[in-house]
Structure 1
Amino acid sequence: MKPLIKVMLFLGAAFALTFILGRILGILTVENVNHWLELAGRVDPFWLAGTVVLLLFLDLFVAVPTLTITILGGFFLGFPAGAAAAFTGMSLAAFSGYGISRIWGARAVSFLVRDKEERQEMAQAFKRNGPTMIVLSRAAPIVPEVTACMAGATNMPFAHYVGYFSLSTLPYVLIASYAGSISLPDSPQPAIYAALALYAVLWTGWYFFRRNSRQPVGN
């Protein structure tokens, strides 16, 4: 398990660095995202949908406020158009991360984990725990991108990854975008409640996953 944690922490730190740089440079703040979506909405709904897709795709390279963009997509585009745009953008980011890591991930892992047996141990650990990690990945920023890269690097079958990703992302997108579609600037309670409920459910899932993974084999 230690090699798996090592590689995932390295990936997480790399994605976190992009998040920090984005905030320092003031590029992908919530205010900027809201402003860009407003501008795109004034031009054409297709431009607005394209902006949502692009912003969420960029999450693979520069960490963005995913939940906020999904809620705003629902607010500006309505439901289910906002959900479709958000799911498309998240899928592009996740599948690109998977594909890139499927091609070049083994080299990166070999650099980080020099011992062949430890690399095999890492792959086996992700095979056991990866599906649950992917399903619960929306509990925190950066984790979806990390698990996408790990799935590709460990050669998880793409069809399996798509299934776990969809199980994680579809409910998240549908709930968040619908909450955004029924929210108003002076009455944002649906969006706030939806965000709190999503994180509560996901973090509860992580709690039980961590508790069960600590139990000795055979218990």
Structure 2
Amino acid sequence: MKPLLTVAAVLACIFASTFLILKLSGVLTVDDIEYFLQSASDINPLYVAALVIAILFADLFIAVPTMTVTLLSGYFLGAVVGGVSALIGMMFAATTGYIISRKFGPSLLYRIYKDEQKLSEMRTIFGRHGAFVLLICRAAPILPELCCCLSGATKMPFIRFILYFSIGTVPYAFIASYAGSISTLSNPKPAILTAIIVSGGLWLVWFFFLKITNNSKPVNNDITSA
């Protein structure tokens, strides 16, 4: 498990650095996002949908508050249109991350780990646990982008990747969007409760998953040729 965690940590640092840069520079804040969406809503709801998609796609390259954007999408567009818009943005980012990492990821993995045996172990571990990780990847910021990149870099079959990522992401998008649609400035309680319950629940699953996998036996690298 150690090689996979090492690569995950390196990629997480890369994504986290974009969040810190934006946070410290004040270039893009939650208030800015809300202002942009409000301005777009005053012109045409289609602009809101396009902006939501663009912001969530940008999450692949710069860390943005996905839950907040999805809640706002539901608030401005309604549960269905808001959910679809958020989902398109998330899926677009995920697919792009997978494709880029599938093409260029192996060279990055080799830069971090030059030991072919370690790389083989990492692919085996992600092949064994990757599906479940994709299901719960919305548990924490940065984790979805990280999982998409690892899926591509370890050459997980695309159909398998998109299936499990979708199972974990579709409910997330529509639940958050619905919560945003029934929230108001005077009553933000549905949005707040949804953010706490969904994020907290997924985080607990992620926490126990890490405990279980860390306590499991190491992968046997003695592979017998067929």
- Whether these two folds match at TM > 0.5 is yes
Counterpart CA distance in 1 for 2:15 and 2:152 is 17
- TM-score w.r.t. the length of structure 1 is 0.96
Matching residue of 1:146: 146
The within-5 A match list for 1:41-80 is 41-80=41-80
| 1:33 to 2:33 alignment | yes
SS of 1:16 mapped into structure 2: helix
Q: How far is the alpha carbon of 1:95 from its aligned partner? A: 0.5
Q: How far is the alpha carbon of 1:209 from its aligned partner? A: 1.3
Matching residue of 2:221: none
Counterpart CA distance in 1 for 2:211 and 2:112 is 28
Q: Deviations over 1:112-133 (max 9, x none)?
A: 1111111111111111121121
Q: When the two structures are aligned, how many residues end up with a matched partner?
A: 218
Structure 2: gaps (5+ residues): 218-226
* 4+ runs deviating over 2 angstroms: 214-217
Matching residue of 1:199: 199
Counterpart CA distance in 2 for 1:106 and 1:210 is 24
The more displaced of 206-215 and 120-129 is 206-215
Counterpart CA distance in 2 for 1:24 and 1:204 is 29
Matching residue of 2:110: 110
What letter matches 1:205 in structure 2?
Answer: V
Q: Deviations over 1:164-200 (max 9, x none)?
A: 1111111111110000000000100000111111022
Counterpart CA distance in 2 for 1:125 and 1:214 is 12
Structure 1: gaps (5+ residues): none
- TM-score w.r.t. the length of structure 2 is 0.94
What letter matches 1:139 in structure 2?
Answer: A
Counterpart CA distance in 1 for 2:150 and 2:59 is 16
What letter matches 1:76 in structure 2?
Answer: F
Summarize the Cα distance change of 1:91–1:216 in structure 2 as closer, same or farther, 3 Å threshold: closer
Counterpart CA distance in 2 for 1:25 and 1:96 is 27
What letter matches 1:65 in structure 2?
Answer: P
Summarize the Cα distance change of 1:52–1:216 in structure 2 as closer, same or farther, 3 Å threshold: closer
Q: How far is the alpha carbon of 1:214 from its aligned partner? A: 3.3
Counterpart CA distance in 2 for 1:187 and 1:55 is 25
Q: Quote the RMSD (CA, aligned, Å).
A: 1.2
Q: How far is the alpha carbon of 1:27 from its aligned partner? A: 2.0
Counterpart CA distance in 1 for 2:27 and 2:216 is 46
Matching residue of 1:16: 16
Q: How far is the alpha carbon of 1:136 from its aligned partner? A: 1.1
